Amino acid sequence: MDSKVNVLGSYEHEVEVTLSYDEIKTDIDDAYKKERKNIELPGFRKGKVPMQMLKKVYGEAIEYKASESIAQKKFWDVVEELKLNPISMPQLTDIDFQMGEKLFFKVKYEVKPEVEVKDYKGIEVEKPIFKVKEDDIEREVTNLLKSHSNFQEAELIDDDKFRITVDLNRIDENGLPVVGQGQQDMLIDLSETNINPAILEGVRDKKVGDDFKFEFVDEHYHGEELHREEFKYSGTIKKIEKIVLPEVTEELLSKISRSKAKTLDEFKQQIRDNYSSYYKSQAENIVTNSLLNKVIEQNDFPVPPGYVETILNNLVESEKENAKRYKTPNFDEKGVREYLKPRAEWTAKWQIIMEVIASKENLKVEDSDLEKIAEEEAEKTGISKEKLVKFYKDSNRSIGLLEEKVINFLKENANINEIDAEQRAKEKKDKK
């Protein structure tokens, strides 16, 4: 077998392969045996046609048909022999089969381009510090207690500790209902923190059977363009219920805290710790995303389209599985594919850059790294460490671990500036 690799571009290679007829004779014979099972001739039942007669009548068709699949099979033999690294589906671009003589073919394939990654140390990024507010703690306590509330029918709405059932219609400038924009028996919890203040003002001091109106203006940005729309509604109150929070007992606290708190103070501390842990996680995610985005921006390069397509297919398949699992109706594969395309391109670039950085900085995943994780998982799952290590190797867990090492390296070598998240949000709002 003769083979030759041609470099067509930064990420596009082509391999030329020439095989003598003797080198593919076994594969040709296998093709005859396979086709023979489905062929019949006058005087011979299906699968019983003599081989010499089969070759005489159908030999040319069978061998030419087999040559393409043989070429595809032999390509992977060449990949292993020459240690090639195709990163997407290869394409058979040329084939020349001469019966009894030779098989020549060309396959075009993508490789990860050689990228000179630079300026990945000393990157300036901001880390938002989110502060846990006592108001948030109190609100969360109330929300959790509300899930165990009782409701007592009432006649008058005198504060926001009510839920109401209403018939609601959007109305135009003349006070007439807008067709198709009404809802019957709508349940509104007036104690929700995101309730529109106009609704509270409209129903205050109202009784069952009373009509009410409210209006508000919705302003939001599409890019840098401000959109403004006025909404007017009229409604009728059909039912009023007072929200009665349950008595705070040790039994109730144990239930809603999953046996982690017996007193109200302990419960609040649990919520505070949860908020703190969540905020720290979010801050780290923001730092990581900002850091990786800047690395990619500073080292942009043409990414192999086939590699992007492979990643995109995997992302879409994952979304399909999620849609099945959660029984999402009318899964829009075309729309999902279009939405995920930028993410696939970003991921392709990051994977290539990540491996270059790992190589330059001599970052590797050793067996000891997998064994350490396996020991921790073995204690939790009861699965032996050896089985877990084998599973990690078979499932390419080392790729994820290598990515973690590279990200940690980038963070250790970055200039991370902590900022007050609330203050920064206020500054951005004031600019608008």
DSSP codes, 410-429: HHHTSEEEEEEHHHHHHHHH
The CA-atom distances, in angstroms, between 197 and each of 160, 192, 309, 386 are 10, 11, 48, 60
| Cα(201)–Cα(212) distance, integer angstroms | 10
**pLDDT classification of 432: cutoffs 50, 70, 90:** low
In CATH, what is the architecture of 150-244?
Roll (3.10)
CATH topology of domain 2-110: Alpha-Beta Plaits (3.30.70)
| Cα(300)–Cα(297) distance, integer angstroms | 6
Q: What is the pLDDT of residues 82-114, one digit of tens each?
A: 999 999 999 999 999 999 999 999 999 999 999
Give the residue ranges of DSSP H helices in 83-206: 134-146, 197-203
Polymer length in residues for the chain:
432
Which one-letter DSSP state was computed for residue 327?
Answer: T
CATH code that applies to domain 264-431:
1.10.3120.10
Which pLDDT score, from 0 to 100, does residue 222 have? 66
Which pLDDT score, from 0 to 100, does residue 415 have? 97
What global pTM score does this model have? 0.77
Q: Which among 312, 276, 309 has a CA at the least distance from the CA of 129?
A: 276
Which pLDDT score, from 0 to 100, does residue 104 have? 97
Q: Which among 279, 280, 252 has a CA at the least distance from the CA of 267?
A: 252
Phi and psi angles of residue 363, each rounded to the nearest 5 degrees, phi first: -90, 125
Query: Can you give the residue ranges of every domain in the chain?
Result: 2-110, 150-244, 264-431
Average pLDDT over residues 211-236: 85
Q: What is the pLDDT of residues 153-165, one digit of tens each?
A: 999 999 999 999 9
> What's the sign of the alpha-carbon dihedral 377, 381, 386, 392?
negative
Which pLDDT score, from 0 to 100, does residue 28 have? 94
3-state secondary structure of 213: strand
- For residues 128 and 278, the answer to whether their CB atoms sit within 8 Å is no
Residue 184 confidence (pLDDT) above 70: yes
Q: Which among 235, 119, 243 has a CA at the least distance from the CA of 181?
A: 235
- What percentage of the chain carries pLDDT values higher than 90? 77
Phi and psi angles of residue 125, each rounded to the nearest 5 degrees, phi first: -140, 155
- For residues 125 and 297, the answer to whether their CB atoms sit within 8 Å is no
**Mean of all residue pLDDT scores within the chain:** 92
